[in-house]
Amino acid sequence: MSKFSFLLFPILLLAFVSSSVGNGITNVESSKIRQAHQRRLLSDYQFPNSHLKDAYVALQALKHAILSDPYNLTANWVGPDVCNYTRVFCAKAPYDNNLTVVAGIDLNRGDIGGYLPEELSLLVDLVFFHGNSNRFCCTLPPKFDQLKLLREIDLSNNKLSGKFPEVLLRLPSLKYLDIRYNEFEGFVPKELFDLPLDAIFINHNRFQFEIPDNIGNSPVSVIVLANNKFSGCLPAGIANMSRTLRQIILKNNGLDSCIPPELGLLKNLTVLDISNNNLKGPLSDVFSGLEKIEQLNVAHNSLQGNITESICHLPHLKNFTYSYNFFTSEPPACLHLNAYSDRRNCIPGRPAQRGKKQCASALAANVNCDSFMCKKFKPPCGSSSPPPPTSEVSPEDRYLSPPPPPLVIPVWNYASPPPPSKN
């Protein structure tokens, strides 16, 4: 093929597209034109192996699905050398050391606008897909379940919407799931908590459901479900996560029950935040068994009674927030913690407390925890907890993405997105 004929085809293609636009070319026709052009390029390009050829098709489809790329992250996504594309990482295949494949894509904080095309399912060797802090819309393509090696997916802080993407339940290697700060809605499938994940972030969406009892089946070390629209009980089954769970954040979810005493079985827990719910009843000695707890937040609920001294003597406790409840006493030990907040309670002699009438009215109501009809705690069969995950997210790094997969791949050191700015 001559160099002239190679250049002539794109020119004729553009001329055809330009003339067709005036006649109302459809999206389907436009797609067919692009596919024809890609087939022509594929016949001209040489690839080291079929995996990189498929990767080229997938990455070109993604580039065409991007409508806005203000930082030009995909500007050099041209030609057959996909391993030199910006933010695309190649490595030796884990099953064949002689085979080079595309193992990762990192488009974090690119402010990219567009959608995720079905052709991404051709990236069968992909280990991580990082795309947080962009403007990807719609949802995940159903064929995403072809990515059998995918361990990490971070699509947080985008404009994804619709129901929970159930294709995520069909990724056998997945360990890290982050879809927070999107616009997903509806139920969260209970099957999510049966997966062998290490971290679940689905906070700041519009999910509406009751936390299922099988949440205790999950072997995660970190789970953040905050700022959704839950209802029902704070399930006692969470206690079955005692071997692996390090951090759980359930704040601002509309949970309406007493605090199950079994939460005290979470002896490896370092962070617990159940603030801004509608939890009632006493705190008593529920948390005295949290031997490793560092941050404990029960603020903005309707809890009452005494703060027991055993809680404030927990050896690693640094921050205890119990403001905006109806507690009537606190031990002096709580006032010597590195950080604490007791305001807007009913504690005599302390500043910034509730008024006497408000306290009297709230404390006159008798809280019957059985009336919530929460399911009783059931230990797992054989009382054997799932094995701990191979990697854990430390308290210092709980808002960071996990370490790179065990492949020789350059990975960007990045933080997960902050909350979107308020207008």
Q: Whole-angstrom Cα distance, residue 242 to residue 209?
A: 23
pLDDT tens for 54-106 read 999 999 999 999 999 999 999 999 999 999 999 999 999 999 999 999 999 99
Q: Whole-angstrom Cα distance, residue 396 to residue 173?
A: 26
Regarding beta strands 113-114 and 66-68, do their DSSP bridges make them parallel or antiparallel, or are they unpaired? antiparallel
> Amino acid letter at 105?
I
SS3 readout for the chain: CCHHHHHHHHHHHHHHHHHHHHCCCCHHHHHHHHHHHHHHHHHHCCCCCHHHHHHHHHHHHHHHHEEECCCCCCCCCCCCCHHHCCCEEEEEECCEEEEEEEEEEECCCCCCEECCCHHHHHCCCCCEEECCCCEEEECCCHHHHHCCCCCEEECCCCEEEECCCHHHHHCCCCCEEECCCCEEEECCCHHHHHCCCCEEECCCCEECCECCHHHHHCCCCEEECCCCCCECCCCHHHHHHCCCCCEEECCCCCCCCECCHHHHHCCCCCEEECCCCCCEEECCCCCCCCCCCCEEECCCCEEEEECCHHHHCCCCCCEEECCCCEEEECCHHHHHCCEEECCCCCCCCCCCCCCHHHHHHHHHCCCCHHHHCCCCCCCCHHHCCCCCCCCCCCHHHCCECCCCCCCCCCCCCCECCCCCCCC
Q: Sheet containing 183-186: which strands, arranged edge to edge?
A: 66-68, 113-114, 135-138, 159-162, 183-186, 206-207
For all residues of the chain together, what is the average pLDDT? 86
Q: What percent of the chain has pLDDT over 70?
A: 80
Structure confidence at residue 38 as a pLDDT band (50, 70, 90): low
Cβ–Cβ < 8 Å for 107, 130: yes
Kindly list the distances between the CA atom of residue 327 and the CA atoms of 32, 64, 268, 319, 394, in Å, as whole numbers in the listed order.
67, 58, 27, 17, 31
pTM for the full model? 0.84
Residue 285 has a pLDDT of 83
pLDDT tens for 366-388 read 899 999 999 988 887 655 444 44
pLDDT tens for 172-225 read 999 999 999 999 999 999 999 999 999 999 999 999 999 999 999 999 999 999
Residue 9 has a pLDDT of 45
Mean pLDDT of the 158-166 span: 98
| CA-CA-CA-CA torsion sign (161, 164, 165, 171) | positive
Cβ–Cβ < 8 Å for 282, 273: no
225 versus 5: which is more confidently predicted?
225
User: Which pair of structure tokens corresponds to residue 420?
Assistant: 């979107």
User: Which pair of structure tokens corresponds to residue 75?
Assistant: 């500007």
Residue 379 has a pLDDT of 84
Cβ–Cβ < 8 Å for 193, 213: no
Q: Is residue 413 over pLDDT 80?
A: no
Q: Is residue 284 over pLDDT 90?
A: no
Structure confidence at residue 3 as a pLDDT band (50, 70, 90): very low
Residue 411 has a pLDDT of 35
pLDDT tens for 99-135 read 999 999 999 999 999 999 999 999 999 999 999 999 9
pLDDT tens for 300-355 read 999 999 999 999 999 999 999 999 999 999 999 999 999 999 999 999 999 999 99
CA 11 vs. chain centroid, Å, equals 45
Cβ–Cβ < 8 Å for 265, 245: no
Place of tokens 């603020």: 299
Q: Is residue 423 over pLDDT 80?
A: no
